[in-house]
């Protein structure tokens, strides 16, 4: 792999969790650090403050186990995908921005948050979600069943627009049912990962 090191012999290395895809930190590698990382499968940087090689976790035990290294289009920035052991930041947080390293599901995570907020708010006059939740879990489950039937009916028709519309309704109501049972998409992910061979 061709790497364009800067005038100090360094290249920025963006560290990303291979599973959650969250960015954990930014470090710098020289050629020796890069080669050691490839050889040992534990991410090693060149410390600009200490002016030496530094393997993440050498003191804390919070290693970054290498999964893959990719070069960007200009060959001057590395994307290093890892399986982290423990927190990444020296301050004890999961990443250097103080955020939790949890799986995110894009807009689906936003929907989960909206559902939680509306259930907590309990304004049944203004919120469909709050109104449905106030009727109990049986009504939420019944609604998922209704949306599932409508999705199946549209799947057997040729109208893709209606199929997608009903699929979105089904998924939205399923997210509500998950929360009504005290679960989230993360729980479904864990279950599916457990089945994956």
Q: What is the CATH number for 79?
A: 3.10.20.810
pLDDT per residue as tens digits for the range 155-171: 999 999 999 999 999 99
Q: Which of 86, 100, 98 is nearest to 57 (CA)?
A: 86
CATH number of 142's domain: 1.10.287.1080
Report the half-sphere exposure of 47 (CA within 13 A, side-chain side): 9
- Give pLDDT < 50 ranges for the chain: none
Q: Do 66 and 116 fall into the same domain?
A: no
Note whether residue 90 is domain-resident.
Answer: no
For residue 94, being part of any structural domain is answered with no
The tens digit of pLDDT for each residue in 127-150 reads: 999 999 999 999 999 999 999 999
CA 133 distance to own-chain centroid: 28
What is the rounded distance in angstroms from the CA atom of residue 117 to the CA atom of residue 162? 29
User: In this structure, is residue 160 part of a structural domain?
Assistant: yes
Nearby residues of 184 by Cβ (< 8 Å), 6 or more positions away = 112, 178
Residue 33's H or E segment, with its range, is: helix 31-40
Q: Note whether residue 100 is domain-resident.
A: no
Is position 181 within any domain?
Answer: yes
Asked if 72 and 140 sit in the same domain, the reply is no
- Which residues, at least 6 apart from 121, have a Cβ–Cβ distance to it below 8 Å? 127, 130
User: Where in the sequence is the domain holding 29, given as residue range(s)?
Assistant: 10-84
- Give SS3 for 5: coil
Instruction: Give strand ranges (E) for the chain.
Output: 11-17, 23-29, 44-47, 52-55, 64-71, 78-84
**Co-location of 78 and 131 in the same domain:** no
* Number of independent structural domains in the chain: 2
Q: Is residue 97 part of a domain?
A: no
Is position 148 within any domain?
A: yes
Note the pLDDT of residue 129. 95
Same-domain status, 68 and 124:
no
pLDDT score, position 2: 93
Nearest partner of 189 among 113, 114, 103, 115, judged by Cα:
103
Angle at 165 between CA 164 and CA 167, to 5 degrees: 60
Answer yes or no: do 52 and 112 share one domain: no
In a domain, 95, yes or no: no
């Amino acid at each position: 792999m061709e790497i364009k090191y800067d005038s100090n012999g360094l290249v920025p290395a963006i560290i990303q969790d291979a599973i959650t895809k969250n960015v954990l930190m930014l470090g710098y590698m020289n050629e020796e650090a890069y080669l050691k990382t490839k050889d040992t499968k534990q991410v090693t940087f060149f410390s600009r403050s200490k002016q030496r090689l530094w393997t993440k976790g050498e003191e804390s035990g919070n290693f970054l186990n290498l999964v893959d290294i990719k070069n960007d289009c200009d060959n001057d920035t590395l994307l290093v995908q890892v399986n982290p052991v423990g927190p990444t930041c020296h301050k004890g947080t999961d990443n250097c921005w103080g955020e939790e390293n949890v799986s995110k599901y894009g807009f689906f995570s936003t929907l989960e948050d909206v559902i939680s907020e509306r259930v907590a708010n309990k304004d049944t006059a203004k919120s469909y979600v709050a109104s449905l939740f106030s009727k109990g879990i049986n009504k939420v489950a019944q609604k998922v069943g209704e949306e599932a039937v409508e999705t199946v009916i549209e799947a057997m028709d040729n109208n893709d627009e209606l199929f997608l519309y009903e699929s979105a309704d089904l998924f939205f109501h399923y997210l509500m049912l998950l929360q009504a049972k005290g679960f989230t998409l993360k729980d479904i992910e864990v279950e599916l990962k457990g089945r994956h061979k």
